[in-house]
Homo-oligomer: A and B are copies of this chain.
Amino acid sequence: MGEFELLAKVRERLPPPGPRVRLGSGDDAAVTVPGDATATSVDALVEGVHFRREQCSLAQIGHKALATALSDLAAMGAEVGEAYVALGVPADLDEDGCLELLDGLAALAAETGAALAGGDVTRAPVLTLAVTVVGHAPSAEDFVTRADARAGDVLAVSGDLGAAGAGLLLLESQDRGRSPFVALSATKGERTALIARQLEPRPRLAAGRALAAAGATAMIDLSDGLGGDAGHLAAASAVRLEIDAAALPLAAGVAEVAAATGRDPIELAVSAGEDYELLAALPADRLEEARTAVEATGTTLTPIGVVSAGEGVEIRLPDGRLSKPAGFDQLGPEAGP
C-alpha cells in the first residue's frame, strides 16, 4: 500500500475538509485557498528521542505528533486549518501499525477540525513523524507572537503544570519494575491522568483563541518547560519576567510523585516540559476578561507573575530565594521517552 492509499484510508474516517481545501493528497500537492493570514509550524517526533514504542500505543504516537504541532498554532491564537504528515516507517511496523498510528492522528484531527491534506510515506530506520500544520486568522496582526509583551502586563498560564513530567516519571518507574513508591504515589485516577498528559497532550486551541481575543500581547506554548519557554518569550519581547513559584498551578498528584522521587514539585512544573499549556502576557486590566473566556473553554487561567523592564526570567521560590530557570535540572522533551 503506497502513501496515497494509506492517507486515503485515513481520510475516509475524517469529516470532509472545510472550504479552504480544494484538493487533498493524491496529486503533486494539496491545493488550498487560505483567503486570510496563515501561521505555519513544523514539528518532528523521532523514536528513541521523543518517545519509546514500548511505553505507548501507536495511536498515542500519532496523536502526540499532531498535538505538539497544533500546540504551536494554539500559541498563535490561530484557527486550525490543514495538517501534512511525513511518516518514516521502520521495517518492523506493518500496514496495520501505520493505520493504527494514523488513526490516532486522525482522531485528534477530527476533534480539532484539522484537515489532513497531504503527506509523504517513506522507509526509515526508526519511526519518525514530521507534521506541518497551517492555522488561520483574518489578518497577520490577529496572531499573537512572543514579541510584544510589555512591562506592566500580567503573566498567566492555562491549565496546570508538572503533569507531563510526573507522568514521565511514572512511566519510567513502570519500565524499571521498581520504585513502588512512585507507582503508588498519588491516587490511581491521578496517575492515569498524569500519564495521559505525557502520552496524549491536548493542544489548548480554544484557550489560545480566547487569550488572543482577550488582548494577549505575547504567548508561547510550554513544550520545553515554563522556565525555558518563559526565557524565549522574555528574549523575544525584550522584557523581564518575574514568576511567583508559589502561584504555579500544580496538577493533581504532581506533589506526590515529586515526593516519591525526591524531587521538588516546582522543578517538575518549571523544567520538565511537555505540559503544552499556554503562557500569556496580558494587559492587567484584561486579566478577568481573559480568565472568564478561558474558563468558558473548559480550563483555567492562573496569574503567575508580572512583566517588567529588563531581561531574563526570575522565579521567586516559596522560601523567598530567587532562581534562574537554568539552575533547574533540565528534563526537556528531548531527554524524555
Per DSSP, chain A at the interface is strand
Is A140 a contact partner of B33 (Cβ separation < 8 A)? yes
Task: Mark contacts of A132-143 with chain B using CB atoms, 8 A cut-off: 1 yes-contact digit, 0 otherwise.
Answer: 101100011001
Given contacts A22-B37, A128-B128, A140-B31, A84 and B122 within 8 Å (CB-CB) = no
**Chain B residues whose CB sits within 8 angstroms of the CB of A41 once the complex forms:** 28-30, 84, 118
- Do A39 and B44 touch across chains, with their CB atoms under 8 A apart? no
Looking at A73-81, A98-106, A187-195, the stretch in contact with chain B turns out to be A73-81
Instruction: Check if A143 sits within 8 Å of B42, measured CB to CB.
Output: no
Within 8 A of B (CB), among A38-62: 38-46, 48-50
Whether A17 is near chain B, meaning CB under 8 Å from some CB there, is no
Given contacts A39-B31, A86-B130, contact A46 B122 (CB under 8 A): yes
| CB–CB A122/B38 < 8 A | no
Closest residue to A22 on the B side, CB-wise?
A: B140
Asked if A126 is an interface residue, CB under 8 A from chain B, the answer is yes
Decide: A119 near B32, CB < 8 A? Known: A22-B140, A125-B125, A128-B128: no
Q: List 23 A-B contacts (CB under 8 A).
A: A22-B37, A23-B140, A23-B145, A27-B76, A27-B146, A27-B236, A28-B72, A28-B75, A29-B40, A29-B78, A32-B140, A33-B36, A33-B139, A42-B132, A44-B86, A44-B128, A46-B88, A46-B122, A50-B122, A86-B132, A88-B128, A120-B130, A125-B126
Known pairs A23-B143, A28-B219, A42-B119. 17 more at Cβ < 8 A?
A: A27-B236, A29-B40, A29-B76, A30-B39, A30-B41, A42-B118, A42-B132, A43-B120, A44-B86, A44-B88, A46-B122, A46-B123, A49-B122, A49-B124, A88-B128, A125-B126, A128-B128
Chain A residues near B (Cβ < 8 Å) = 22-23, 26-34, 36-46, 48-50, 72-73, 75-76, 78, 82, 84-86, 88, 117-120, 122-126, 128, 130, 132, 134-135, 139-140, 143, 145-147, 219-221, 236, 334
